[in-house]
Amino acid sequence: MQKSINEIFELQKVHSILLRSTGAAERKEKLRKLKMIIQENEGLIFEALQIDLRKSEFEAALTEVYFVYAEIDFAIKNLSSWLNPRKVAAGLSSFFTKNRIFYEPKGVSLIISPWNYPFQLLIAPLVSAIAAGNCAMLKPSELSPATTSVLLKLINDSFDSKEIACFEGGVEVSEALLELPFDHIFFTGSPKIGKVIMAAAARHLSSVTLELGGKSPALIAEDADLQKAAEKIVWGKFMNSGQTCIAPDYVFIHASKEQEFLRLASLKIAQLFYNNDVLDKSSYGKIISTGHYQRLKALRDKAVDDGAQIIKGGTDSDEDQTIEPVLLSKVSVSSAIMQEEIFGPLLPVITYESISKAIDFINQMPKPLALYIFSGSDAIVRNTIKQTSAGGTCVNDVVIHISNPNLPFGGIGNSGSGSCHGFFGFRAFSHERAVMFQSKIDFSKIAYPPYPKKQSLLKWLKKIM
């Protein structure tokens, strides 16, 4: 296994040099090929996502496959303009020069993806890597084996391994890959493993893009439309059984509005995920593994032991690793459920007396991947954005900012480093190379010695600089 990985890496190192000279036409053709392969295998992809996460075909199409189609189409549409050298102005010290920024491929890239959106979170970064002209070695998650099996077939049967290769296996495969001096590493996963990736990258001075997670709050102001807030938060939280990196992790609401929100949220849970009081498993997924299932149950039970009340939910199914949507109130902020990312269908609701106190609490926590603000007041929204820090934000909605390829998607601090999607993904896999073209009027010669004869120039330069 190690030998195969090393051999393919060496092949890609050589081939990556050839890829530097490829233009938009060649890269667009590869992207079209990738899209065609996905289209031909949609059924296999949907079936695999059903096996791994019990995703319905509609949800799998919307959040995984069609999402990737949109990324491919956007890259094809814009790649020619992205590749054009960008003009920048000359400075006083280089007055007559022409200055450009060239986007060149970084070289051989490694993409490690998680299990929660196992198709999208491997292929979307690959789209960016191809657009930027890179070779890529891919490592999907071992926790979503059905989807990984399909990804191996799609990639390894359709692309030459000297350009794109996909590897199956557990931690030992990831460790073997991380021993290699990649030009760029793109990782999506937890902050804990993100630190491992960053340490491995540091050994080779590899650049990294880390798409991590964290506790993304939903802050509901007193003036918010509670009906709308409840519906959107419930949808965003319990989609994919809460196994979404930008799912609202907890709700912050004014104490006077708590009971009404809990009532509305309970109704929305029933409307969206139940049929005659029976959980609709055709629209609600399962927890990915026994280990994650047991962790979530323990997290919920510990919260109750610490004083939390279950307002809705609390029924589990060990047989198919299902935890029904759980709505919690009176949650202690010192409980484990408020100290670690939940990543499952448990929604704590905590109250505040003043929005400034809520903002203070958010600022005391590690910076989240997303912050959701519900308010009808522009002043409250602007003030909250100004006083907090987060990877991204939606106002009066959740999650959907990820769908706009014109926006950068990424975290800050504990929630990640760098950004992706659209041009921002292309840039993540590119080196921005500064190029200066000297003119016939060579202004730089004033910096040449001998210096004693040029002392008078200093007064003049001081005035104009």
**Element counts in the chain: helices (H) and strands (E):** 16, 20
Q: Which amino acid is at 293?
A: Y
Query: Which positions ≥6 away from 288 have C-beta within 8 Å?
Result: 52, 53, 115, 116, 143, 144, 243, 321
Q: Which two tokens stand for residue 156?
A: 């390894």
Q: Is residue 420 annotated as part of the catalytic site, yes or no?
A: no
Which is the catalytic residue, given 71, 163, 211, 341? 211
Task: Compute the distance between CA of residue 115 and CA of residue 49 in angstroms, rounded to an integer.
Answer: 10
Q: Which two tokens stand for residue 130?
A: 């191809």
Which is the catalytic residue, given 135, 166, 245, 394? 245
Task: Compute the distance between CA of residue 252 and CA of residue 23 in angstroms, rounded to an integer.
Answer: 49
Burial class (CB in 10 A: 0-12, 13-18, 19+), 451: exposed
Nearest to 49 by CA among 62, 36, 37: 62
Query: Which positions ≥6 away from 380 have C-beta within 8 Å?
Result: 221, 223, 355, 373
122-125: Cβ within 8 A, 24+ apart? 122/151, 123/34, 123/38, 123/68, 123/151, 124/67, 124/68, 124/71, 124/420, 124/421, 124/425, 125/186, 125/188, 125/209, 125/420, 125/425
CA dihedral 74, 77, 79, 80 (to 10 degrees): -170
Q: Is residue 211 annotated as part of the catalytic site, yes or no?
A: yes
> Interhelix angle for 2-19 vs 171-178, to 10°?
50
Task: Compute the distance between CA of residue 422 and CA of residue 68 in angstroms, rounded to an integer.
Answer: 11
In degrees, rounded to 5, the angle at the alpha carbon of residue 410 between the alpha carbons of residues 397 and 21 is 130
Nearest to 220 by CA among 242, 263, 250: 250
Point out the residues that are catalytic: 211, 245
